[in-house]
């Protein structure tokens, strides 16, 4: 067929329906694949229709099978070439896992919330552009989260109409998908507070994606990874509950500051306390300590705070 001539989306729609049938166990329509549409026929699909089927497939119980079906029909090549580029990328030649197999497993393991499943599908799309092979054979993907998030915003989101709150959340998940895995037991409470503050209201989705992103075949490493994420979640909950019960700064701190620095009761004392509260909220200063703790902190940062 001449792809320059007018073509309709009928065969692409048929292929999409067939792919959708693959995610429903026991559906009699799970038969042989229909004729593979041409790229032009795929491009003739309305973006809204493509998105509708992709959303439905991603949150299904057999999304991994559906993704293989989309690859077989050629839809990934047209609508998600960034994902198609993961197929066969990292087959062991360069000592790193097959990224397509890993991606499908992460999608399958992810909770079936739309934003998390989209984040699972797209979290590693920056890897092909960032692979670096050292002379030793060691492989790195430095900056792949940032590159992948930029690819999503510039191309994928526009192509598929992934905008609004859903698009913002998917971008956030791609950008930050490595953050929770950096946690270890040595983090202070201040570091935990700072992490929670920086991650904001997407924290639950991020932790769920981080759990799904553990695909190691080594049981002890998988168990350790899941344990650390659960520990991080529990520590976040604990410090947030503590902070909600205990005022950030103790009573009498203003009097202690005045005495320590020779500042008369004034608006200046209030400004200093507000700065300390802001640092507590930002996670750079522990809340709930006694007055001497904060006076000593002010002494150490006197030049910075003009004291």
Structure confidence by residue, pLDDT tens digits, 268-288: 999 999 999 888 888 888 888
Alpha carbon distance 279, 301 (integer Å):
12
Query: For the chain, what percent of residues have pLDDT higher than 70?
Result: 93
Q: What angle do CA 168, 116, 216 make, to 5 degrees?
A: 130
117: tokens are 């499943």
Please state, as a whole number, how many other Cβ atoms lie within 10 Å of the Cβ of residue 112: 13
Q: State mean pLDDT over 177-197.
A: 93
pLDDT exceeds 60 at position 266: yes
The tens digit of pLDDT for each residue in 86-101 reads 998 865 554 557 899 9
The Cα–Cα gap between 17 and 270 comes to: 65
Residue 32 has a pLDDT of 78
> What are the start-end ranges of the E strands in 214-306?
none
- Separation of alpha carbons 172 and 250, rounded Å: 36
Which of these ranges, 20-29, 127-136, 208-217, 264-273, has the smallest mean pLDDT?
20-29
Is residue 3 over pLDDT 70? no
pTM of the model: 0.79
Residue 27 reports pLDDT greater than 60: no
Q: Which residues fall within 8 angstroms of residue 68, CB to CB, at 6 or more apart?
A: 22, 104
Domains of the chain, residue spans: 253-300
Give the per-residue pLDDT at 105.
95
């Amino acid at each position: 067929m001449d792809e320059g001539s007018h073509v309709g989306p009928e065969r692409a729609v048929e292929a999409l329906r067939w792919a959708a049938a693959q995610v429903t166990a026991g559906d009699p329509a799970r038969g042989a694949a229909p004729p593979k549409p041409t790229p032009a026929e795929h491009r003739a699909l309305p973006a809204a229709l493509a998105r509708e089927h992709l959303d439905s497939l991603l949150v299904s119980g057999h999304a991994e099978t559906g993704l293989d079906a989309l690859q077989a029909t050629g839809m990934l090549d047209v609508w998600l070439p960034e994902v198609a580029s993961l197929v066969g990328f990292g087959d062991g030649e360069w000592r790193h896992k097959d990224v397509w197999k890993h991606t499908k497993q992460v999608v399958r393991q992810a909770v079936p919330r739309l934003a998390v499943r989209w984040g699972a599908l797209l979290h590693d799309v920056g890897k092909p552009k960032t692979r670096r092979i050292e002379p030793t054979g060691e492989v790195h993907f430095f900056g792949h989260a940032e590159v992948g998030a930029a690819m999503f915003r510039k191309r994928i989101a526009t192509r598929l109409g992934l905008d609004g709150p859903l698009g913002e959340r998917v971008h956030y998940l791609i950008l930050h998908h490595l953050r929770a895995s950096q946690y270890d037991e040595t983090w202070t409470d201040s570091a935990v507070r700072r992490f929670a503050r920086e991650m904001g209201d997407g924290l639950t989705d991020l932790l769920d994606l981080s759990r799904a992103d553990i695909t190691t075949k080594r049981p002890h490493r998988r168990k350790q990874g899941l344990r650390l994420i659960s520990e991080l979640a529990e520590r976040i909950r604990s410090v947030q509950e503590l902070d909600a019960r205990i005022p950030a700064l103790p009573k009498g701190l203003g009097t202690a500051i005045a005495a320590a620095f020779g500042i008369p009761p004034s608006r200046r004392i209030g400004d200093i306390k507000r700065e300390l509260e802001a640092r507590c909220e930002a996670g750079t200063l522990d809340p709930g300590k006694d007055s001497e703790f904060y006076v000593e902190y002010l002494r150490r940062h006197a030049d910075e705070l003009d004291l």
